[in-house]
Amino acid sequence: MAAALMLRENDRFFRRERVFLDRYNPLDRPDDFLLRAYRFPRHKIIELCNELRPDLEKATLRSHSIPVELQVLSALRFYASGSFQNVIGDVFGLSQPSISRCINDVTDALVRRINQYIKFPDEAERRTNKSDFYKIAHFPNVVGVIDGTHIPIKAPNDNEYQYVNRKNFHSINVQCICDANFKIINAVFRWPGSTHDSYIWNNSQICRQFEEGDIANGWLLGDSGYALKPWMLVPFMNPSTPAEEEFNRRHCRTRVTIEQLFGIVKSRFRCVHKTGGCLCYVPAKCCRIIAAVFILHNICVDNNIPCLENDNVPDEHNDLNPPLNEGVVLCGNGQQVRRNLAAQFV
């Protein structure tokens, strides 16, 4: 009997006390839960709240306004899951119209800061980009890779046919340029799904900067949907020599970074992925939400926040020192630049 009492006392001594979390404080959770639910750890959510506070804090004497923290968490939950607004409202004890206003206000606050988080690198940063891209497949002088991705949306009432893409669903065609670390350095969010990638590129400001020489001494890598230019290198359509085949292999291994970027963004923020259904808003609001999601992705990259559902990263060759621009002819037309570069690969 005494032995049984002693075992019971020892068991009570070593028993871990249960910790009851505050149901009304969503941040009273461990970081791994916050990463799964909101895609950010606690300290970064708090920093984001403080940054957006001037835009979200409402002065009112009529009733209690929704705290900034709750507005940001509601929007982050929507971006991360793509759930219906009434489902998110049940989580936070808010009505569906209140969740709608939170998403709209947080989205607008983020979009106002787009030039702060999505910007093309300066000359010094472009040199770093070239070095990072070279480590992937020994392709020199690359400052970015470009492609478009389709974000599914609800069929709009006006000009519905313009939003039907080649895969026969309604979408926004988003053009992105990224660096070797999956950071977005340029993006265009305003074109309907039927618009061709090359048309978006030709009507973009970044294209004019390359054409006018404002951005020089570097290449973008695109797929065959883009026109070959001295600053835009695309693969050989029908490679006929070992040099052309090697060019295509290196080009493909380097350019796949942009495809991996889209996979990471859509895994991290399910509201822009087809598994989340579609964005059920008018196209203009869909474009703002997409822009906000891409801004949040860059914040994750800048702060080394992991993507829990996607591990696609390019191969690293850290022992290589890239010869930036050595022996590469940067003048002439696109055909000449591509031929001169391919000749170095054999």
**Dihedral over alpha carbons 248, 257, 291, 117 (to 10 degrees):** -120
The reported pLDDT for the residue numbered 85 is 92
Cβ-contact 146, 176 below 8 angstroms: yes
| Stated pTM of the model | 0.85
The reported pLDDT for the residue numbered 13 is 52
DSSP-derived 3-state class of residue 97: helix
The reported pLDDT for the residue numbered 96 is 93
The reported pLDDT for the residue numbered 289 is 97
Please report, for residues 50, 90, 110, 124, 173, the alpha-carbon distance to residue 154 in angstroms, rounded to integers and kept in the order given: 33, 24, 23, 42, 14
Domain boundaries, the chain: 23-112, 123-291+308-343
Strand order in the sheet with 232-233: 184-192, 171-178, 142-152, 219-221, 232-233
Token output for 51: 């940054």
Q: What averages of pLDDT result for each successive group of 10 residues across the chain (346 residues)?
A: 58 52 68 92 95 87 78 96 91 91 97 96 94 95 96 94 94 97 96 95 95 91 93 92 95 96 95 89 96 98 83 38 38 80 87
The reported pLDDT for the residue numbered 312 is 42
The reported pLDDT for the residue numbered 274 is 87
